[in-house]
Each structure stands twice: as C-alpha cells, then as structure tokens.
C-alpha cells in the first residue's frame, strides 16, 4: 500500500493548506465480527413507543373517571336525622286517612289512622316529665276494603240541655260501605252502620259532635 499525498485545501487567500496527519485506511482483513443481542419483545417496543394519540386517550379516560367519582360524591345525600317524638308502625300498607286531637286536661294526643291494609288504629301519646309514652289500640271491626276516612267528635263536645257531657267517639269509614263508631277512651266498638256503596268521607257536626255526616259516590 502506498501512502497518499497529504490532502490540500485552498483557503480564501489562494494558499494551499496542509493537514498535520495523513488519512489512514483500514485493511478488510482486520474486520471483526460483533454479535448483537436480539431485539426487545414487541410488547416492550409498543410500551416504549406509545404515540401521542394513545397518551391523549389515556389522559381523557382518567379525566372522565375523576369526573364520575366527583359526581358520585356530590350526589351522596347526608343522612336523614329522625327528629320525631314518637313513631307508630302498626300499618302494613299505605295510610289513606288520619285525624288527631290534643286533650290538654289529660295531656294526651289522640290519633286515629286508617289505610290500605283494611285496618284502623287508635294511637295515644301521653307526655309525663318530658317523656312521651305511646299506646296503640287496634280498632276491631274486620273491614274488607281500604279505610277511606276517619273522624273524631272530641273537639266539638259540649254539655247538652240536660247538662250531660256527650261521649267521645271515633267514626271510621271504608270502601266496603261500612261506617263504624268506637269509644275514644279505650277503642271499644259501639255501633256498625252498613252502607250500600263506598264511603268517601265522614265528619262530625261541629255543634255538639252528636251528628255524623257521611258521603259516598252513589
């Protein structure tokens, strides 16, 4: 092998420039084989080369999940605090009729209720030393349809011309056509009136409470 002449380069001034070191050539017989490890698995390549679209998609999904979590949290309602003085759970179906009267002399609240379970109840709440005592009396008549109306004559009772105080009574009307009178004192059944059709409403006359007015759809 013959050494080539040192390369020259013409600069802007027209002078020849000589390099300090002459070029060196590699003999082909001096080549060395180098073993290269196998390429990484395809999954690793995909993970390592995630493009911008995939990253944007993942960020969008994360944002949506966070928004859904915030919506769920905001929709959660605070627990309801029971502030009732007394609770009655006698009925097994919807309550369709209810009335009440407070007797200041005995410090007792009378409540009459009737519902879709064909039953009527007298509930008593008596307060003593700031403690409420409750009692429930089932009214006995076996109705065959829902209770539609209830009434108390206690608010209207006055002394009649003989000076005798009228009895406290409960009236219960039902869609089976019956009207039943009970004693407000202990729930004793007093009388049953059988009507021809559904009883829609019942109300004691406000003058004395001795007359009961009843209406139906007939």
Per-residue pLDDT of the chain (218 residues; tens, 9 = 90+): 445 555 555 555 555 555 566 666 666 666 667 676 665 555 555 555 555 566 666 666 666 666 666 665 557 788 888 888 788 989 999 999 999 999 988 889 999 999 999 999 999 999 888 788 899 999 999 999 999 999 999 988 876 666 677 889 999 999 999 999 999 999 999 999 987 789 999 999 888 788 899 998 77
Q: Residue 172 has what pLDDT?
A: 97
User: In this structure, how many other beta carbons lie within 10 angstroms of the beta carbon of residue 145?
Assistant: 14
Q: Residue 31 has what pLDDT?
A: 65
* Residue 97, C-beta contacts closer than 8 angstroms, at least 6 positions apart: 113, 114, 115, 147, 148, 149, 150
Residue 139 and residue 182: Cα distance in Å, rounded?
A: 8
**Nearest to 208, CA basis, from 139, 162, 174:** 162
Q: Residue 208 has what pLDDT?
A: 79
Instruction: Give the three-state DSSP class for 50.
Output: coil
Q: Residue 165 has what pLDDT?
A: 73
Q: Residue 25 has what pLDDT?
A: 65
């Amino acid at each position: 092998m013959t050494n080539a002449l040192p390369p020259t380069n013409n600069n802007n001034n027209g002078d020849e420039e000589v390099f300090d070191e002459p070029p060196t050539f590699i003999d082909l017989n001096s080549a060395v084989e180098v073993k290269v490890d196998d390429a990484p698995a395809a999954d690793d390549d995909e993970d390592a080369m995630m493009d911008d679209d995939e990253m944007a998609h993942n960020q969008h999904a994360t944002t949506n999940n966070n928004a859904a979590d915030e919506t769920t949290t905001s929709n959660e309602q605070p627990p309801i605090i029971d502030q009732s003085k007394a609770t009655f759970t006698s009925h097994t179906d919807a309550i369709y009729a209810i009335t009440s009267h407070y007797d200041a002399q005995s410090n007792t609240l009378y409540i009459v209720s009737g519902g879709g379970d064909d039953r009527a109840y007298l509930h008593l709440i008596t307060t003593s030393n700031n403690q409420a005592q409750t009692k429930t009396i089932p009214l006995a008549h076996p109705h065959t349809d829902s209770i539609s109306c209830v009434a108390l004559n206690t608010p209207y009772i006055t002394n009649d011309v003989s000076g005798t105080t009228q009895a406290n009574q409960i009236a219960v009307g039902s869609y089976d056509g019956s009207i039943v009178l009970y004693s407000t004192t202990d729930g004793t059944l007093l009388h049953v009136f059988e009507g021809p059709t559904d009883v829609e409403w019942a109300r004691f006359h406000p003058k004395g409470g001795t007359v009961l007015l009843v209406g139906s759809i007939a």
